């Protein structure tokens, strides 16, 4: 399902050259295209900031080494090295990979929260809170359905 996404990202890279690769590799689709590309659950979270049910994601319990990539555009977002069991029922990390995510403030629950999105496709991933473990003290509370786990050597 991600073939067109990856190809368009590659095309952007080739056309623009490595100098402006970061901007060129942004992955964009219309809402209707995203709906076709993603599972209904991933679409609801990534494109419409839904939140999956706590303890519903198998990735919450995932303990193997590897990389957690964006379910929307396949960008590597988190290393298993920064994953921890927060007890919240959502996959949690104390740091993202460099240049992987962006943040913005939302008020969906009335109070300000810091929403986390994929830097490449701007898909909503979850929120970040300041009650995480050392060394950062941050807790990136992610929707497992917005991530795809790739077992292997951790980034």
Q: Contact region for Zn ion (CB under 5 A) — 6-14, 53-61, 71-79, 136-144? A: 71-79
Q: Contact region for Zn ion (CB under 5 A) — 8-16, 32-40, 63-71, 128-136? A: 63-71
Q: Binding Zn ion by CB under 5 A: which of 37, 118, 145, 146?
A: 118
70 is catalytic: no
What's the min distance (Å) between Cβ of 114 and Zn ion? 18
Q: Binding Zn ion by CB under 5 A: which of 9, 37, 59, 70?
A: 70
Cα 147 to Cα 93: distance, rounded to the nearest angstrom: 12
Phi-psi region of 17 (alpha: psi -120 to 50; beta: other; left: phi over 0): left
Token output for 131: 């009650």
What's the min distance (Å) between Cβ of 146 and Zn ion? 8
Q: What is the DSSP string of 87-129?
A: SSSS-EES-PPTT-EEEEEE-TTSS-EEEEEETTT--EEEEEE
- Which residue number, 103 or 133, has a Cβ lying nearer to Zn ion? 103
Q: Tell me what percent of the chain is helix, strand and coil, each rounded to the nearest 5.
A: 30, 25, 45
Token output for 112: 């300000």
- Asked if 96 is part of the footprint of Zn ion (rule: CB under 5 A), the reply reads no
* Contact residues: Zn ion, CB under 5 A: 70, 72-73, 75, 118, 120-121, 123
Tell me the catalytic residues: 141
């Amino acid at each position: 399902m991600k073939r067109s996404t990856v190809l368009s990202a590659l095309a952007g890279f080739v056309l623009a050259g490595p100098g402006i690769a970061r901007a060129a590799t942004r992955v964009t689709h219309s809402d209707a295209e995203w709906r076709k590309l993603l599972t209904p659950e991933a679409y609801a979270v990534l494109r419409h900031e839904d939140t999956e049910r706590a303890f519903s994601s198998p990735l919450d319990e995932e303990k193997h080494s590897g990389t957690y990539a964006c379910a929307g555009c396949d960008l590597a977002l988190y290393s298993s090295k920064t994953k921890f069991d927060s007890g919240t029922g959502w996959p949690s990390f104390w740091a993202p990979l460099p240049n992987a995510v962006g943040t913005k403030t939302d008020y969906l629950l009335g109070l300000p929260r810091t929403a986390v999105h994929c830097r490449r496709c701007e898909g909503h991933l979850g929120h970040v809170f300041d009650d995480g473990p050392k060394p950062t003290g941050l807790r990136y509370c992610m929707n497992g359905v917005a991530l795809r786990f790739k077992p292997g050597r951790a980034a």
